[in-house]
Amino acid sequence: MTPAVRHWSLFVARRLGALAVSLWIVSMITFVVTRMVGNPVYLMLGPRYTEEQFQAAVARLGLDQPMWRQYLDYLGNLLSGDLGVSRYTASPVLNEMLARAPATLELSTFALILGVAWAVPAGIAAGRNPRGWFARFADLMARAGVAIPGFWLSLLLVFVFFAKLRWLPAPLGRIDDAFRAMPRPTGWMTLDALLAGNMAALGSALAHLLMPVIALAVTTSPSILQITRARTAEVMASDYIRAARAFGLSEAKVRRYALRNMLAPVLTMITMTYGFLISGTVLVEVVFTWPGLGLYAVNAMNHSDYEPVMGVVLFATAFYLILYMLADIVNAAVDPRTRSTA
């Protein structure tokens, strides 16, 4: 094994080890917290039950066992790929999550694309001229995005563009009722409409996406704008950029050098934002009745349904950590300084 291969193998192994430990810690904390919130037996039995019925239900669900024993049983099932069964819907949690995950992934991905499309160019423009009027405008936009709650902006968009102007459809799902029977091989309404060649369905899917995507993009992209602006200003004021210009390099080459040196932190922030979007769509999904993982988790919490909440938390955590690990690998490949300390 060559030194380079050994270095990369150790690098990836360390990241995978950290991912496994993080997931274990999150599973343990979530397991304890969910069981401190409420007992699902009360909701399952209703207001009228006998003590014998209550005790029988507790024993059937295994809730009479010590918590450490319950956790070991859950961990054993988890390692075999079993996320349990929802006590409210009586369906396997894994199946329900697989059915709902495309809705959340589609919403989060479009929100990230829109956020990056405006935040990165705006950050670069503001960083190249930190004292200009556009830099002040970008700073105002970033502050507004941080200050505005996503659910409040969602409600405002619904009020303006649906209730008042009637420009966009009602916040009741992902597509109009006329297209609900459309085949869904991917679960992404936009992709499925394109695959089916149904432009009317595509327009309906995009119209339903527009308001939640704007709400998420506005409230989650300011961090991308700020890190892009700060890193651009730092790189453009650095000695090697001044030296490159002094040696007569073209402005196009100088910009390429600057872009490569600012890429790592911006890429990391984009990755972190995407991971946050997967778990941060909860309130927006509730406002728009979006049938994704966030709405699924909220409904499960309302019924003290442990397993779906655990499944959604672990999925969001794993997604975030995998993205972060991939960003580390890309940064190490792009930037030799990062690679030498990895």
Number of separate domains in the chain: 1
Q: Which residue has the higher pLDDT, 228 or 65?
A: 228
Most confident range (mean pLDDT) of 130-134, 177-181, 222-226, 277-281 is 222-226
Residue 85 φ/ψ, nearest 5 degrees: -120, 135
Quote the pLDDT of residue 117: 94
Q: Which residue has the higher pLDDT, 174 or 37?
A: 174
- Shortest CA distance to 338 belongs to which of 228, 241, 261, 279? 261
For residue 280, the one-letter residue type is G
| pLDDT one-digit tens code per residue, 97-126 | 999 999 999 999 999 999 999 999 999 999
Q: Residue 42 falls within a domain, yes or no?
A: no
Q: Which residue has the higher pLDDT, 13 or 3?
A: 13
Instruction: Check: CB of residue 114 under 8 Å from CB of residue 274.
Output: no
Residue 92 φ/ψ, nearest 5 degrees: -60, 135
Residue with tokens 């009479």: 64
Instruction: Give the tokens for residue 310.
Output: 């655990």
Supply the pTM of this predicted model.
0.86
Q: Residue 47 falls within a domain, yes or no?
A: no
Asked which of 115-119, 224-228, 246-250 is least confident by mean pLDDT, the reply is: 246-250
Quote the pLDDT of residue 19: 85
Share of the chain above pLDDT 90, in %: 36
Task: Tell me which residue range forms the domain holding 90.
Answer: 3-37+83-341
Q: Residue 203 falls within a domain, yes or no?
A: yes
Compute how many other C-beta atoms are within 10 angstroms of the C-beta atom of residue 22.
15
Q: Residue 50 falls within a domain, yes or no?
A: no
Q: Residue 12 falls within a domain, yes or no?
A: yes
Residue 1 has pLDDT above 70, yes or no: no
Q: Residue 133 falls within a domain, yes or no?
A: yes
Look up residue 102 and give its DSSP letter. Answer: H
Q: What is d(CA 245, CA 248) in angstroms, rounded to the nearest whole number?
A: 5
- CA-CA-CA-CA torsion sign (240, 242, 244, 247): negative
Asked which of 133-137, 301-305, 335-339 is least confident by mean pLDDT, the reply is: 335-339
Quote the pLDDT of residue 285: 93
Look up residue 85 and give its DSSP letter. Answer: B
Q: Residue 173 falls within a domain, yes or no?
A: yes
Quote the pLDDT of residue 340: 53
Q: Residue 224 falls within a domain, yes or no?
A: yes
Read off the CATH number of the domain in which 306 is found: 1.10.3720.10
- What's the chain's average pLDDT? 86
C-alpha distances (whole Å) from 26 to each of 98, 269, 311 are 21, 22, 11
